[in-house]
Amino acid sequence: MRKIVFFTVFFILIAIASYFLKEKMTPEDYFSAGLEAYTEKNYARALRLLKKSDRPEAVFTLGAMHFAGKGVPENRETALSLYKKAADLNYAPALTTLGILYAEEKNFDKAMSCLEKAAALNDGDALILLAKWYQNGINVERNYPKAVEYYEAAAKAGVLDAETALYIIYSNGKKGVPRNLYKAMRHRAKVEKQNEQLKKLRPSEK
């Protein structure tokens, strides 16, 4: 009888301890666990955990889940609302995503506003997108010096495509951007160096 009482109390104490440990989980804990569940495609668990985190990354991931219909019915309106919430927290990927979605809706003023904010936060995706827009006159008036400005910033952020674009532009010269073989070779060297590094990371072919 005493053994039964002992084990009953023991398991009750474990249950109470587990409850309080769960209650003490931080937004970081919920986000980490939610992201792990998302990676494992356990969307129901991911949704439950991410909702308990106020981190912008968690809010953004919830937006992506609603946008793609993962674990929840696909709902673009809810996704946009969550993206905006993450963007208000200065989360660069959310700003970039909103910029792309606004551009698809032909709302170029809002698109540029979001992308410029993301670019100011050094988001590589926003920087390279703005550079391509200015280079090709997409959604904005063509402006090669502005394109080079964004390509240079994207290159510093580690975007390899930006190095390639700068090599081509400086090799030929464009309106407002004089031909500069020194800069062209410098960017080409960076491209070659990064390609060599990528080759080393790939498994050797037999």
Specify the length of the chain in residues.
206
* Token representation of residue 88: 């208000």
Centre a 10 Å sphere on the Cβ of residue 206 and count the other Cβ atoms it contains.
Answer: 3
Over the stretch 142-193, which tens digit does the pLDDT of each residue have?
Answer: 999 999 999 999 999 999 899 999 999 999 989 999 998 898 899 888 888 8
Decide if pLDDT at 46 tops 70. Answer: yes
**Structure-token match 């464009």, residue found:** 174
Q: How confident is the model at residue 20 (pLDDT cuts 50, 70, 90)?
A: very low
pLDDT at 9: 44
Sign of CA dihedral 83, 87, 88, 91: positive
Percentages helix, strand, coil for the chain (3-state, rounded to 5) are 75, 0, 25
The confidence band for 34, taking pLDDT boundaries of 50, 70 and 90, is: very high
| Distance from chain centroid for Cα 30 | 19
- Is residue 75 left, alpha or beta, with left meaning phi > 0 and alpha meaning psi from -120 to 50? beta
| Helices 43-50 + 27-39 axis angle, to 10 | 160
**Model confidence, pTM:** 0.79
The b-or-e profile of 6-33 (16+ CB within 10 A means b, else e) is eeeeeeeeeeeeeeeeeeeeeeeebbbb
Q: Is residue 19 over pLDDT 80?
A: no
The tens digit of pLDDT for each residue in 89-145 reads 999 999 999 999 999 999 999 999 999 999 999 999 999 999 999 999 999 999 999
Radius of gyration of the chain (CA): 24
With CA atoms as reference, report the closest residue to 162 among 192, 197, 127.
127
